Every structure is written in C-alpha cells, then in structure tokens.
Amino acid sequence: MAFLMFAVLAALVIIAYFVGKRDLLSPWFLLCLALFVSYSIVMLNYENWEVKINEKFMLYVCTALLAWGAGSFIVKIFSFRAVECNALYCVSAEKKLKKYPVNFFAVLSLVFVAAYISKLLLDAGDASSFSQRIRNIYDNIVENNYSPGFVFTQMMEIVTAIAYVSVYRLLKKIYSKNDKISVLKLLLPIVAFLLLIVVSTDRNKFLRFAFYSICLYVLFFRANFKKKNPNRKIIQRVVIMLVAIIVLFFLLGKVKQYSSNITRALGIYGGSGLYNFNLWIEEFNEPLMYGNSTFSTFLSTLDVLLKPFGLNFSHASIDRFDPFIEYTAANGYVYSSNIYSALKPFVEDFGYFGVVIFPLLMGILYELLFSNSKKKSYGFSWVLYCLLIYPIVFFPIAEQLFRRLHLGMLYEIGWVAIAYFFAFRRKKKKAYACAELFPAKGAVNR
C-alpha cells in the first residue's frame, strides 16, 4: 500500500503538470508536488517509522487532490477573457513614474526592528547567554501564549510588509536596465526582517517569506526569459534556493537549542505531519465538529470582537498546538511529532465530505488568484499570489489558510497592500492606462 500510494502521487504530479500547461506555479501542480515531496520523506523513513499506510488515508488524500483539481477546472471553464499586458512593456512604462521610497523604508524597518527586539529581550528576563534568552522567548510564546502587545505586533507586521515589498523592488531592479537604486538600501529591510525572525523564533514566518520570495523570483525569471521553456533553468535555481532555505531553517532551530540533526529535523518537520494523519485517521471516530476545528482561529477572533458589545459567541476551544504521537520503533528509533496536516481539521469537522468541500473551495480560490496574476504581468496581483502561496506548500504539514483567518492575517495582507501602494501607487495606474491606449507588440486579446 505504501508503494502504491507513492506511485499514485507521482502520477498525479505528472498529470497536474501537463493540465497546468507546464506552469511550475500552477496551484494544483504545487499542491500535488508538495504532497509528493512530503510523502517521499515518509518513504525515506520507512524503516525508522515502521511505515504502514492504511486504505482510508490513501482515499482521503487522493480525494482532496482530485477535489482541488476540480476547483481549478471550474475556474478555467468559467474564466473571463481579458487583455494580457506585455511584461516588458509594463516595466518600461513604470520607469518614468514616482521614485521608490527606499530611504524611508530602510530607516523605518531598522527603528521598528530595534524596538521590537528590545521588547522581546526585556520580557524574556535574565539569562546566562543570548542563546538561552532566545530559548526563553520561545518557551514564553509556546507555554504562556506570550504577545508583546498590539503596538509592537504592528511594528513587526510593518517590518514584514516592507521586507515583502523590498523583495519585489529588488527583483525589479535585477531584471530592469539602467535602474540606479541602491541594492544595499533595498537589502536593509530584508536583513532587518531576518534578524527579527531570529529573535522572535518564528520559523514559520521565515518559511512563508522564503516561499514568497521563490515564487516571485520564478514569476520575474519566466517573464524575462526569451526562450520557449524556462522550466529547466528555474528548477536548477530553485533547488539551490531550497537547499539554502533548509540549512537556514535548521540553523534557526539550533538557535532555539533544538537537538535534532538536519536529517532528522527535515524528516520530522517535512514528513511526520502527513504520516501522523495516516496514523490518526485510522482510529478517528469522534463526533464531528462542523466548522469548529477548521475555523477555530476565526471563531476565537469573532468572540474577542463581540465581547466589547456584550455578546458571547460560544464555540469549541481548540488547542493552538496539536497533541503529539509518540512511539519507539523496533530498531530503537524514538518518534515524537504533532498530528499536523491540513486534512485533519477538515475531517474533524465534516468527515470524508470535509476533504471534498474544503480542497474544492481552495482550488477555486487559488486558481482565481493565479489566473489574475497571469493576466496582469507584474503589479500587486503577483505580490498577493506569492504572499498567499504558503498554504499550498504547507498543506501536508498543517492547515495554513482557514486556521490563519484572524486579525494577524488581516494585518499582514493589509500592511503589505499599504506598503506596496505607497511605493507604487502611481505606477500601476499609469502603466496600465498607457498599455490600454497604446497596446504593446505581443499583447494578447482574448
């Protein structure tokens, strides 16, 4: 059964690749690839984890993949025809417009990062070393649900937003000629953001930023590649980036005093969530929660918003961290990991129907975002799609779309939009207005 599942996932990756017209950023292809990679990690740990795949797991995973594909297909059938802006033309049109506020973004990022880090270190208390203080910050967040407060949280969100926009502007410089903006000044907000990640111990925020940057790089590279198929070169570069990300992710864990080596850490983080769902689904027979699991953070946020008006919104309380599965294999390998997977809350809420309806809705949403990004070369549609790409990549590990429907996600998207339109607010309007009046050579009318 384990090897049959591997073959089925491999086949779905190939099918999704060609259905998506060999576009590496097609959301259904990315989902199939993410699950295939995660399951490959499970297979690499076949003996240590004593892997046994049950039929129910295979049915649920394959159903979710097919449901997502159906959602993508629905959008493709009913998608509206539009004028595609020529990529290189849009870049040239933007050159004449407003200067990018690089100095303001750099200074603001440095000031906010200094303030935020000072707050975290102060609240962490005394420690014998910097590493121990970082560990104290992590323990305080996990065990006590620590928050530095609204003002400092917004500082972090603003720094994050500026870092996202800075990556976009840096790539514009790389792929544009005669752009005299300072690379060092563009890098300062990004470096400041990474320093904030180290001290805040939020490795998931680092991964979201990394996936965003890779996705945006692929969009820029493909738009400026003059030959027919850029996929081979894209894959070569992305593999190098992923290796660097894995190493950095591992080192961030070491800063928190994690003891696992890099192979074990990759196995636990990248594959155990999916395999634990396999173990969990075989024994699952609890009453359905009808939305309380999938929308737990949204319901908690709604409860907080209603309380000042004297309204109490009753809902089931869900732990922030899922329970651990622990066992010792016959060869002495000790296994301990959370039951993380995007599919788990869907099943908890609606059983088998949950892995149909939620992936279907996500397939529709992401195909709409993806289609919009393809119709509008460059611009905020690229930033938004790349910003929201991580729930697809995280799908085998944890549910990152519905579980992040809270004020934090609203702040993140909101500040990115504000930062982007503050920097480029006149560019988009003029570039597209010009493109509509004087269509560029190669513009496609559909």
Instruction: Output the pTM of the full model.
Output: 0.85
Helix, coil or strand: residue 337? strand
Domain ranges of the chain: 1-79+274-398, 101-257+406-423
The whole-number pLDDT of residue 268 equals 80
Structure tokens at 211: 């996936």
Q: Which residues contact 77 (CB under 8 A, 6 or more apart)?
A: none
User: Strands, E, within 26-91: which ranges?
Assistant: none
**Inter-CA distances, 81 with 84, 270, 370, 372, 440, Å:** 9, 39, 14, 11, 18
> Residues 381, 295, 319, 139: what is their CA dihedral angle, to the nearest 10 degrees?
20
* 259 burial level (CB within 10 Å; 0-12, 13-18, 19+): exposed
What does the pLDDT profile of the chain (446 residues) look like in tens digits?
899 999 999 999 999 999 999 999 999 999 999 999 999 999 998 888 888 999 999 999 999 999 999 999 999 988 754 434 444 334 433 444 458 999 999 999 999 999 999 988 888 777 667 777 788 887 777 677 777 888 999 999 999 999 999 999 999 999 887 788 899 999 999 999 999 998 888 888 999 999 999 999 999 999 888 877 899 999 999 999 999 998 888 888 777 666 667 777 788 888 888 988 998 898 888 899 998 889 888 888 787 777 777 766 665 555 555 666 676 777 777 767 766 789 999 999 999 999 999 999 999 999 999 999 888 778 899 999 999 999 999 999 888 899 888 777 889 999 999 999 999 875 444 444 444 333 443 443 33
Asked whether 157 and 415 are in contact (CB, 8 A), the reply is yes
The whole-number pLDDT of residue 322 equals 64
Q: Which residues contact 224 (CB under 8 A, 6 or more apart)?
A: 87, 88, 175
Asked whether 243 and 19 are in contact (CB, 8 A), the reply is no
Residue 226 CB neighbours (<10 A): 6
The whole-number pLDDT of residue 430 equals 44
Asked whether 292 and 349 are in contact (CB, 8 A), the reply is yes
